[in-house]
Structure 1
């Protein structure tokens, strides 16, 4: 577990040895409220209940929010808690990353609790989301206050959603080209379809639940989210919807590709069966004729005929040639 505490006015809370204490966070928060400017940002990496102890009281985190922070693996959501200093907001997100070599989508978790002049973030396997959000806050300024941290985190998470959705679209397009290629037999295509479908569903489980919280953040007049921040959060909501629609479209396209692949396989199997049947018919004719004249009977027509043998061979050739031409015209050969 790593801890960092930052204030918007540049005051350092990092003690000489070890990590900042909840008491230091409480002192910084009191100072920010007294001055009417600045905020405190506390970040925890994969904390347990004992790691959160003290910070919940120092910042005024609601007990239900503490339970979600400790338990983890929360569905993306937005919760509003009432309490002292206007209560708090909890936003749960599932950051995603894409391993292009394995075409695998991996998700982590970042939870944000926003209060009056403070923000608490908890990350588990966040793939550097919090670090990139910290850079954005530093570059874009601190005019939005603690709500700016929420915006930066959501912006990083949603940008990754959009990028991964585009990667999945490219993979599905490549698979679609492979399926409809005239030279392709489609070996392993079904497995590939299910792999991509699993990854699309993994991303969809992260994106789709976030649509409603993102909409509420900019549409509802929440006292902890200033009006100037809602303008930026509206852009986040648009990108979440865009990513969700893109992934849903990719999932439907995968279903269509799979259906088309199965149809192609069925047609190929039918064509192979017709070829085998045609060649079998060509082999049956001489087999029947040879079988008839190979029976061990003394009294049979044409046995004593001088031209019986060449006539039998000629009959085989004529019948097989006729069948071969008929099968060629019908497309069986």
Structure 2
């Protein structure tokens, strides 16, 4: 348990009605109204689904979060899975009071500005994931969004699991449907089975994003090393920025997963095996992201080198033409001094002769510069 967890739990208690009232008064002016909720589920709230599971089977009936928690407390081998999408402070305060969630974890769940982590507040574990999805685009520009990230928070206890999703990535309805229809035996393991399924979906999306980012990377590489060099340096830098955003979502998740796998007596042994599989997928993604980052650094350095070489070539061309022009400028300067006695000023063929000599020098210099690659 981290220092923050120890300090937070010793200083505070699970949310009380008084705290919920204070939170309600504090955020009353900025809270989301029922009409603002666009997520499917209970009308006017952020609740996407609220279900009671007994022995791995979902029991019939529509439950509010309060009713569902009352129901599981009267049953053995039962738990609640409450799914939320971008809840407001008011809704989260009410749910926190019902389920006994710590105020620090609730604050993190509402603000959704956390790194992946695993914390424990009493008997409730709080797992934070960062979701990611690939944003389709016709071509990569200096302002294209390639990777969109969000957050997934999971509260896990013996009698409930609460998933809080921010952003559009990693919808939970397919996960719930898969567990209910095809993996009821896994649901018998309780709330940690749901935490595994959610984490597995998030990490699987990482793999999809990594594959699609690789396609963009191939196009950038092809453009940089093509003859026309159609990939400007701004595109390379933009893809690197998007890759950094993706890396921030992927790499920090390694530590929470290691903590879950190493836990004894908290996470069922069978579920820890499933989490090891998720860790394998995550490790693969981390390695891919690291290789993409190295390759993109190489491409960026190569593009910068190309720009430097192009600039040097341009400067050599300018210098060559300036050298040729200097011959004519010097002759014009000499004969423009208006002295009385100048060579060949009275000769009938002086001007044509001078032009011929300058032209010959120009041709010789041009061929010399051309031979040396300056022109």
Shorter-chain TM-score range? 0.7 to 0.9
Which of residues 30, 44, 67 is equivalent to 2:84? 44
CA distances 1:66-102 after superposition (whole Å, capped 9, x unpaired): 34334432221111233xxxx2321111111221223
Structure 1 Cα separation of the partners of residues 145 and 109 of structure 2: 30
SS where residue 155 of structure 2 aligns?
strand
Structure 2 Cα separation of the partners of residues 139 and 43 of structure 1: 18
Structure 2 Cα separation of the partners of residues 138 and 21 of structure 1: 19
TM-score normalised by the chain length of structure 1? 0.86
CA contact (8 A) 1:44 1:122 kept: yes
2:136 matched residue in structure 1 = 100
1:213 matched residue in structure 2 = 256
Structure 2 Cα separation of the partners of residues 301 and 130 of structure 1: 94
Distance 1:319 1:52, change over 3 A: closer
Moved more, 197-206 or 133-142: 133-142
SS where residue 321 of structure 1 aligns?
helix
CA contact (8 A) 2:116 2:127 kept: yes
Structure 2 Cα separation of the partners of residues 235 and 137 of structure 1: 17
SS where residue 129 of structure 1 aligns?
coil
| 1:303 Cα deviation after fit | 2.6
CA contact (8 A) 1:132 1:156 kept: no
SS where residue 95 of structure 1 aligns?
strand
2:234 matched residue in structure 1 = 191
TM-score normalised by the chain length of structure 2? 0.77
Which of residues 172, 180, 185 is equivalent to 2:217? 172
Runs of 5+ consecutive residues of structure 2 not aligned to the other structure: 1-44, 138-143
| 1:293 Cα deviation after fit | 3.5
Structure 1 Cα separation of the partners of residues 92 and 329 of structure 2: 86
Structure 2 Cα separation of the partners of residues 39 and 114 of structure 1: 10
CA contact (8 A) 1:214 1:240 kept: no
1:14 matched residue in structure 2 = 62
Question: Is it true that 1:2 corresponds to 2:46 in the alignment?
Answer: yes
Which of residues 207, 210, 213 is equivalent to 1:162? 207
1:273 matched residue in structure 2 = 315
Distance 1:52 1:289, change over 3 A: closer
Distance 1:92 1:185, change over 3 A: closer
Runs of 5+ consecutive residues of structure 1 not aligned to the other structure: none
1:147 matched residue in structure 2 = 192
| 1:201 Cα deviation after fit | 1.6
CA contact (8 A) 1:136 1:152 kept: no
1:75 matched residue in structure 2 = 115
CA distances 1:28-87 after superposition (whole Å, capped 9, x unpaired): 212442xxx3432112222234324554455444454334334432221111233xxxx2
Question: Is it true that 1:124 corresponds to 2:166 in the alignment?
Answer: yes
CA contact (8 A) 1:142 1:148 kept: no
User: When the two structures are aligned, how many residues end up with a matched partner?
Assistant: 318
1:309 matched residue in structure 2 = 351
CA distances 1:205-256 after superposition (whole Å, capped 9, x unpaired): 2112111111222232242x21111111111112222222322332333222
Question: Is it true that 1:253 corresponds to 2:295 in the alignment?
Answer: yes
Structure 2 Cα separation of the partners of residues 212 and 104 of structure 1: 26
Structure 1 Cα separation of the partners of residues 273 and 285 of structure 2: 19
CA contact (8 A) 1:75 1:209 kept: yes
